[in-house]
Amino acid sequence: MIQDVTRNFIGGKWVDSRSGNTFESVNPATEEVLTTVSRSAAEDVSAAVEAARTAYDKWRLTPAPRRGEILYRVAELLKERKEEISRIMTQEMGKILPETRGDLQEAIDMAYYMGGEGRRLMGYTAPVEMPNKFGMALRDSVGVCGMITPWNFPVAVPSWKILPALIAGNTVVWKPGEDVPASAAAFVKVFEDAGLPPGVLNLIQGYGPEAGSPLVEHPDVRIISFTGSTDTGLRVYAQAAALGKKVTLEMGGKNAIIVMDDANFDLAVEAITWSAYGTTGQRCTATSRLIVQNGIKSRLVDALIEKAKAIRLGDGLQDTTDMGPLVNQKALDKVAGYMDVARQEGVNIVAGGQRADMPKGFFFEPTLFDDVTPGMRVEQEEIFGPVLSIVTVDNLEEAVRVNNSTRYGLSSSIFTENVNAAFRAIRDLTTGIVYINHGTTGAEIQFPFGGTRGTGNGMREAGQAALTSFTEWKSVYVDYSGRLQRAQIDTDTVLDEI
């Protein structure tokens, strides 16, 4: 249930912003106000960071298995509250209930996974150069971590950051997307009820310039983890790097599905439709380009037009809805603006192309662009809506070249029944995620998540890779010889000294 007022969570207490300023969260399907939200600024961020810094020393000394037990309790509570929190997410950002349930299930999976790391957090040992000496490498916590997350996955994306940071012994200040404050509060409430000590996880509601920037700039925040647009992410990167902070970035995508003439046709149609129009195209892994071999192209376009026209728009809480609204008016205006860009570029809009005729809400029709050529703006820029651009190619080599020729490199996919072509695609597609005979969406938490080029900065979320983002390596040498051994100097005499 969404509360009338949604507050910050600092030092284990739910508090209003210091200024008393507020903003409203609006249901994008109905445009009704859902809750009034504390609007944070730099002084609220400072209070949250101070709470996290104070809690850090005790939390880092809590044995990792005990930290893991709390994360297991988080998982169990999320299971109990799955339907309640899923409904909150659907009301705040619009995607249909089956998708918000999946969003929350990712957090459950991640809580169990990272809870298990409490009994691993594996370092390693290796042989050393001198006799009577031992060497090992350990993972060490870092300190206060600042998390900035978007609205499109209100629980899943924060879980990829918060849970590995906590199991590693760090404390957290989290600023969620301003469109999903009640979802964020419901998620944090689970940690509170699971027994997480005060100050270990703190929630700051508000806007990027007012709350996000002070978090990035705060001298006591050691790590910044950001998910959002590439342009904003690069500004965060520059801002944080100038202050010597560790930064993890997950940014934009312009993902493509390649369909070869020998593809399983029906499977490809279903996967393309889901990958392009699921979450109203508002996923960083959504398919926004279809690179199709010319032999299958005409038949495939006809099938996709039929699919797009059959998609039922509406409130995501209704069982009859296939696709919900865009998140807000700004997003709707952006997607609508790209229709003019498409027409100027000579694109053929074969399905959709306009705002949906709905009494309320930020709805846009599922849209299909044909006759798109490489280099067009609609082929290169992230539209972040239910828009799919079709590019025709002659062969696999051309398809791979088109796929790789964008600013982004998150996810790609190929449909083919030729195993040799599939393995060439695995080798040559330069994206962080590659799918064979599946759409571009649907990452699993046990594998690294992230992309190349303008999609990221080389760091990864989920899987074991997530621990690297939120730990530092500490190399430890134990010399039990009882005398000074000058490593890398007296190596010629080592055997004589044994």
Q: Are residues 217 and 70 in the same domain?
A: yes
Does the annotation count 306 as an active-site position? no
pLDDT value, residue 491:
56
pLDDT, position 493: 56
Q: Tell me, what DSSP letter sits at residue 210?
A: I
Q: pLDDT of 54-95, one tens digit each? A: 999 999 999 999 999 999 999 999 999 999 999 999 999 999
pLDDT of residue 495: 54
Within-domain flag for 450? no
Q: Is residue 40 part of a domain?
A: yes
Which of helix, strand or coil describes residue 158? helix
Give the pLDDT confidence score for residue 203 in this predicted structure. 98
Same domain? For 122 and 160 the reply is yes
Across the range 175-190, mean pLDDT stands at 98
Over pLDDT 70: what percentage of the chain?
98
Please write the tens of the pLDDT for every residue from 293-308: 999 999 999 999 999 9
- Cα separation, 363 vs 381, in Å, equals 21
State whether 230 and 266 are in the same domain. no
Looking at 284, 379, 382, 461, which residue is catalytic? Answer: 284
Task: Please check whether residues 139 and 182 belong to one and the same domain.
Answer: yes
Phi then psi for residue 411, to 5 deg, are -135, 145
pLDDT, mean over the chain: 96
pLDDT band at 486 (very low <50, low <70, confident <90, very high): confident
Q: Which residue has the tokens 């490809």?
A: 268
Question: What CATH number is given to the structural domain containing 159?
Answer: 3.40.605.10
> Catalytic: 284?
yes
Q: Could you tell me if 312 and 242 lie in one domain?
A: no
pLDDT beyond 90 at 100 = yes
- Structure confidence at residue 490 as a pLDDT band (50, 70, 90): low
Domain-located, residue 22? yes
* pLDDT recorded at residue 494: 53
Is pLDDT at 492 greater than 60 in this prediction?
Answer: no
Listing DSSP states for 255-281 in one string gives: EEEEE-TTS-HHHHHHHHHHHHHGGGG
Q: Using a cut of 0.85, tell me whether the model's pTM lies above it.
A: yes
* Total structural domains within the chain: 2
pLDDT for res 177: 98
* pLDDT tens per residue across span 320-357: 999 999 999 999 999 999 999 999 999 999 999 999 99
Looking at the domain assignment, is residue 15 inside a domain?
yes
Q: Give the tens place of pLDDT for each residue, 381-390.
A: 999 999 999 9
Among 92, 178, 250, 365, the one annotated catalytic: 250
Identify whether residues 352 and 298 lie together within a single domain.
yes
Domain that holds residue 238: 5-251+456-475
65 and 39 together in one domain: yes
In this structure, the chain runs to a length of 498
| Per-residue model confidence (pLDDT) at position 1 | 85
Instruction: Let me know if residue 497 belongs to a domain.
Output: no
Are residues 121 and 268 both part of a single domain?
Answer: no
